[in-house]
Amino acid sequence: MSIFNTLFNYIGQIYTDRLPYFPTNIRVSLLIILFCVITAIELYLYMMVRRAVRSVRSKRMKYWDDYISVLLANMIVFDETDHPHEVVAHFYPKLKKIPLRSKVVNSILVEKILTYHKNFTGKTAEVLSLMYRKLSLDKKAKRKIKNRNWETKIEGIREANEMDLMEMAHLIVEYTDDENALLRMEAQAAYIKLSQSDPFHFLDRAQERILDWHQVVLFEIITKHKKLTIPSFSKWLYSSNDTVVMLCLKLVDHFMQFDAAQEVIKLLKHQNPKIVRKAVEIIGKLELEDAESFMFEIYFNHSEEIKLEILNALGKIASGNYSEFLSSRIYSADVKIKKEALYAIKIDPDHGEEKLRTIYLQTGQENQALIKHVLDDRIR
Amino acid sequence: MSKILIAEDEVLMLKALEFKLKKEGYEVEVASDGRQAMEKVKSNTYDLVLTDIMMPFVGGMEILSYIKNDAIKKHTPVLLISAVGLEHVVLEGFSLGADDFIYKPFNLNELSVRIKRYIKQNVFH
C-alpha cells in the first residue's frame, strides 16, 4: 500500500506543486498525458456501461421475444370451432401488456405477426390480421410510411403489403415514382396488391426507370396474383418511359393480348432497339400477318439481332408472302442470317421442307450443308 | 400416442407446428436443422415426419430419401413443406417417395387433418 501511496503522492505533487516549475515543453507533455489518461478511463467506463446496458436490454428482448413467440403460437393454435373475433378477444389483454411503446419490442411483435401471416392461410391469417389492427399496428405502419427516413418508409410499405392494408394504397402510390429505386420498387410491388380501383395507375405516372430485375419481380406479381383484373397493356405502349413499354410488352406477350396488335406494330419504329426486338418477337408469337410488310420495311436498318428476330417472326407467320425474301437471305454473307432464314422457311408445315429441298438443288455446297443441317430434326 | 417429428429451420414456424400438433394429442419431437432431424430419424421411429425442404446442413429431400430407403422405416409417411412449388422439386419429392407436399402459405387446420389421415393409414403397416 505504501508503494501506491508514494506513487500517487509523487504524481499528485507533479501536477500540483511542481508543475509551474517545469519547462514549458514538459508542462505541455504532462498535461497531454493527464488528458489521455482521463480520456482512456472515461472510454473504459463508457464501454462498461454500454455493455451492461446492452446485456440488460438483450435479456429483456429475449424475454419479450420468447413471451411473444409463445403467446402468438398459442393464439394461432386456437380451436377450429372458435370464431376469429373470440380468439382475438381472448388474447388481446395478454398482448396489450407488451410494452409496444418500445420500438424494439414493437418490431419483434410485428416481425412475428408478419412471418406467421406470410406462412399461414385461412382462419389463422384472419386472426392475425384482426389482432394486428386491434393492437393499432396498422396506424404505426401508416406512420412508418409517412416517416422521412426511406428505410422506415420501406418497412411500413412492406408491412402494409403483407397485412393487406388496402387503405394505405393512396399513400403508397406517391412513392411509386420516387427517385430512390428501392423505395420505388417496394411501393410499386405493394401498390399492385393493395389498390382495389386501379392497381396499374402507377404506370401512368412512371417517369423513373423500372429496373430490369424489378420488371421480373413485377411480372411475377402481376402474373401470379389471382385476384388481379388484368387490363389491356396496350394503353401503356405509347409511354415515354421505355422501361414501362418494355414491361407492358412482356405482359402483352404473356397474356397474349391480341387487342394490342396495332400498338405493337407501331413499336417497330421505336428508337429503342430492345423494344423493337421485343415487338418483333411478340408479332411472331401472335402471328400478326398485318405486321409483315412493316417488318420487311425496317429489316435492312437494324442490327443482326433484330434481323434474326424478324426472320424468325416471318417464319412463324408463314403466310407465304415473304417466302422469296426468306429464300434470298441464303445469299447473305452472315451465316447466322442464312441459318435463321432456312429455319424460318422450314417452320411452314405445308411447304417448308419441300421449299428447302428445292433450294438445295439450286444452291452451292456451303448452303447445301446448311440446308442438310436445318432439315435434320435432331438439331436446333 | 402417435409420435411425430417436425423438422423446420424457421423457429417461429416450428413452435406453431409443435403447439398445434401437441394440442391435437400427438407426441412431438422437433429439429431446427437438417442434421438434427437426420440424427433423430436414424435413432428413433416415428409415425409421421413433417419436414421443410430447405434446411441448413441436410435438406428435407435427403431425410426423405433416407427414410424411404430404410427397410424398417420406409412406411413412415413423410410430408414435405415447401415455400416454392417448382415442378422439378415436386417431381423429385414424389419420385423419392414423399407422401404429400404442403405449400407455404398453408392452412394449419387442413394440415392437421392431413396428418391425421396419414397416421391412420400408417397404422395398417
Considering only the beta carbons, identify the residue of A73, A80, A125 that sits closest to B19: A73
Q: What's chain B look like in SS3?
A: CCEEEEECCCHHHHHHHHHHHHHCCCEEEEECCHHHHHHHHHHCCCCEEEEECCCCCCCHHHHHHHHHHCCCHHHCCEEEEECCCCHHHHHHHHHCCCCEEEECCECHHHHHHHHHHHHHHHCCC
Cα–Cα dist B62/A137, whole Å = 41
Distance from CA of A282 to the nearest CA of B (A): 26
Q: Helix A137-146 vs helix A122-134: angle between axes, to the nearest 10 degrees?
A: 70
- Using an 8 Å CB-CB cutoff, list chain B residues near A82: none
B12/A122 touch (CB, cutoff 8 Å), yes or no: no
Q: Which residues of B touch A (CB under 8 A)?
A: 10-13, 15-16, 18-20, 23, 104-110
Looking at residue A232, its amino acid is: S
Contact status, residue B52 vs residue B45, Cβ threshold 8 Å: no
Question: Residue A64's pLDDT is what?
Answer: 92
Grid coordinates standing for A316? 412463324
Per-residue confidence in pLDDT tens, chain A, 380 aa: 688 889 888 888 888 888 888 999 999 999 999 999 999 999 999 999 999 999 998 998 999 999 999 999 999 887 766 788 999 999 999 998 888 888 889 999 999 999 999 999 999 999 999 999 999 999 999 999 999 999 999 999 999 999 999 999 999 999 999 999 999 999 999 999 999 889 999 999 899 999 999 999 999 999 988 788 999 999 999 999 999 999 999 999 999 999 999 999 999 999 999 999 999 999 999 999 999 999 999 999 889 999 999 999 998 888 878 888 888 888 888 888 888 888 888 887 777 788 888 888 888 788 888 888 888 777 76
Domain count, chain B: 1
- Using an 8 Å CB-CB cutoff, list chain B residues near A74: 19
- Using an 8 Å CB-CB cutoff, list chain B residues near A114: none
- Using an 8 Å CB-CB cutoff, list chain B residues near A76: 16, 19-20, 108
Cα–Cα dist A247/A189, whole Å = 13
Task: Please state, as a whole number, how many other Cβ atoms lie within 10 Å of the Cβ of residue A303.
Answer: 11
Question: Residue A324's pLDDT is what?
Answer: 84
A112/B12 touch (CB, cutoff 8 Å), yes or no: yes
Question: Residue A80's pLDDT is what?
Answer: 63
Cα–Cα dist A108/A58, whole Å = 12
Question: Residue B83's pLDDT is what?
Answer: 83
Q: Is A341 left (phi over 0), alpha (psi -120 to 50) or beta?
A: alpha
A69/B110 touch (CB, cutoff 8 Å), yes or no: no
Question: Residue B90's pLDDT is what?
Answer: 87
- Using an 8 Å CB-CB cutoff, list chain A residues near B108: 76-77, 120, 122, 124
Residue A120 dihedral angles phi and psi, to the nearest 5°: -120, 150
Q: For A122, which residue in chain B has the nearest alpha carbon?
A: B107
- Using an 8 Å CB-CB cutoff, list chain A residues near B20: 76-77
B105/A112 touch (CB, cutoff 8 Å), yes or no: no
Distance from CA of A78 to the nearest CA of B (A): 8
Question: Residue A380's pLDDT is what?
Answer: 65
Contact status, residue A319 vs residue A290, Cβ threshold 8 Å: no
- Segments forming the whole domain that contains residue B13: 3-122
Q: For B15, which residue in chain A has the nearest alpha carbon?
A: A73
Cα–Cα dist A52/A60, whole Å = 12
Q: For A80, which residue in chain B has the nearest alpha carbon?
A: B109
- Among A72, A187, A167, A88, residue whose Cα is nearest residue A120: A72
A80 touches chain B (CB under 8 A): yes
B13/A80 touch (CB, cutoff 8 Å), yes or no: no
Rounded to 10 degrees, the C-alpha dihedral B21/B27/B30/B36 comes to: -150
- Among A343, A341, A338, residue whose Cα is nearest residue A375: A343
Q: Interface pTM (ipTM) of the complex?
A: 0.89
Grid coordinates standing for A12? 499528485
- Using an 8 Å CB-CB cutoff, list chain A residues near B12: 69, 72-73, 112, 115-116
- Selected residues 122-141 of chain A with any CB under 8 Å from a CB in chain B: 122-125
Cα–Cα dist A112/A149, whole Å = 23
Task: Please state, as a whole number, how many other Cβ atoms lie within 10 Å of the Cβ of residue A40.
Answer: 10
Residues 6+ apart with CB under 8 A from A322: A292, A296, A314
Question: Residue A1's pLDDT is what?
Answer: 61
- Using an 8 Å CB-CB cutoff, list chain B residues near A71: none
- Selected residues 291-320 of chain A with any CB under 8 Å from a CB in chain B: none
Cα–Cα dist A133/A141, whole Å = 10
Distance from CA of B9 to the nearest CA of A (A): 13
A121 touches chain B (CB under 8 A): yes
- Among A169, A173, A226, A250, residue whose Cα is nearest residue A204: A173
Q: B123 pLDDT exceeds 80? A: no
- Using an 8 Å CB-CB cutoff, list chain A residues near B110: 122
Contact status, residue A210 vs residue A244, Cβ threshold 8 Å: yes
Tell me the CATH number at B47.
3.40.50.2300
Distance from CA of A173 to the nearest CA of B (A): 27
A5 touches chain B (CB under 8 A): no
- Among B39, B38, B14, residue whose Cα is nearest residue B28: B14
B105/A120 touch (CB, cutoff 8 Å), yes or no: yes
Cα atoms in the Cβ-side hemisphere of radius 13 Å centred on A40: 6
